[in-house]
Amino acid sequence: MKRIFLTLTLITLYASVAMAQFSFYLIDNFESGEFKEGPKWWRFGDLKVELISNPTLEGRDLIAESCGQYALRFSGGTDDWYIGGIGTELAIDASDYSRFQIDMTGDQKLSGKLIIEFFDDDNQNYMIEQDANNNYLPVNDDKWVAEVYVQGEGFTRTSIPFTAFKDVNPGVGDDIWNPDQKDGSGGLLKMQLVAISKEQKGAVDFAIDNLLLTY
Ligand SMILES: [Ca+2]
Ligand SMILES: [Ca+2]
Ligand SMILES: [Ca+2]
Ligand SMILES: [Ca+2]
């Protein structure tokens, strides 16, 4: 009896450890096989986006395998660094998570970088009011930013702790990372990904996959 009880306890313990480890919030892995601008994603600037098939794997690669069949390709050119981006509404309580994770694959010629932007609600209205005359910066809420440099061929996994994101509108919002839905706040409302060229006059061509919040 004692042994059965111990076994059950161990199974329960392993199960909860496993659940904790695999707990994450999937923003998108593009496995639906289609990318439509429309309810889920919007696009801005001159960035071109298209769904692509991931290459057939030769040999084992844990991260490439986890990218499944499809990824989202970003391409486009610029005369002045900025190319464009995509965004999505989140409207979640993200206080259980501590990191943003993304898989990206580039090529040998072009590199550039991806800016990741999060917006948390600080005036309890489930909306981000933005100033069209001031780079679309929020006027009541925080905007948090981190950057990832595009590497060469093959998927590179990047996991950025929320603590590494910088508030880019000090004095606006409360300048505190508080993506929770406490006290009427809408929590983490929105994410945008913005592609920037490596050269002032240049281009980008890379793909993204497995966008998620983890801890
Ligand atoms: Ca995928
Ligand atoms: Ca707001
Ligand atoms: Ca702020
Ligand atoms: Ca805040």
Note the pLDDT tens digit of each residue in 21-46.
568 999 999 999 888 888 899 999 99
Say how many Å lie between the CA of residue 174 and the centre of ligand 2: 11
pLDDT band at 13 (very low <50, low <70, confident <90, very high): low
Say how many Å lie between the CA of residue 41 and the centre of ligand 2: 20
Residues with CB under 5 A from ligand 2 (ion): 121, 123, 125, 127, 140-141
Task: Supply the CATH classification number for the domain 26-214.
Answer: 2.60.120.260
Say how many Å lie between the CA of residue 57 and the centre of ligand 1: 14
Cα–Cα distance, 143 to 173 (Å, whole number):
8
Mean pLDDT of 133-158: 96
Say how many Å lie between the CA of residue 175 and the centre of ligand 3: 4
For 155: left if phi > 0, alpha if psi spans -120 to 50, otherwise beta; the answer is beta
At residue 166's C-alpha, the angle toward residues 80 and 86, to 5°, is 50
Say how many Å lie between the CA of residue 185 and the centre of ligand 2: 8
Asked if residue 76 lies in contact with residue 189, where contact means CB atoms within 8 angstroms, the answer is no
Say how many Å lie between the CA of residue 105 and the centre of ligand 4: 32
Cα–Cα distance, 45 to 32 (Å, whole number):
25
Say how many Å lie between the CA of residue 173 and the centre of ligand 4: 6
At residue 196's C-alpha, the angle toward residues 152 and 46, to 5°, is 115
Among 139, 186, 184, 188, smallest CA distance to 162 is for 188
Say how many Å lie between the CA of residue 129 and the centre of ligand 3: 13
Output the pTM of the full model.
Answer: 0.88
Cα–Cα distance, 172 to 72 (Å, whole number):
33
Q: Which two tokens stand for residue 76?
A: 């486009």
Distance of CA 66 to the CA centre of its chain: 16
For position 12, what pLDDT does the model report? 55
Contacts of 163 (CB under 8 A, 6+ apart): 98, 177
Mean pLDDT of 207-211: 98
Say how many Å lie between the CA of residue 181 and the centre of ligand 1: 29
The pLDDT tens digits of the residues spanning 155-175 come to 999 999 999 999 999 999 999
Checking if the pLDDT of 91 tops 90, the result is yes
Q: Among positive and negative, which fits the CA dihedral 119, 121, 127, 129?
A: negative
The pLDDT tens digits of the residues spanning 185-201 come to 999 999 999 999 999 99
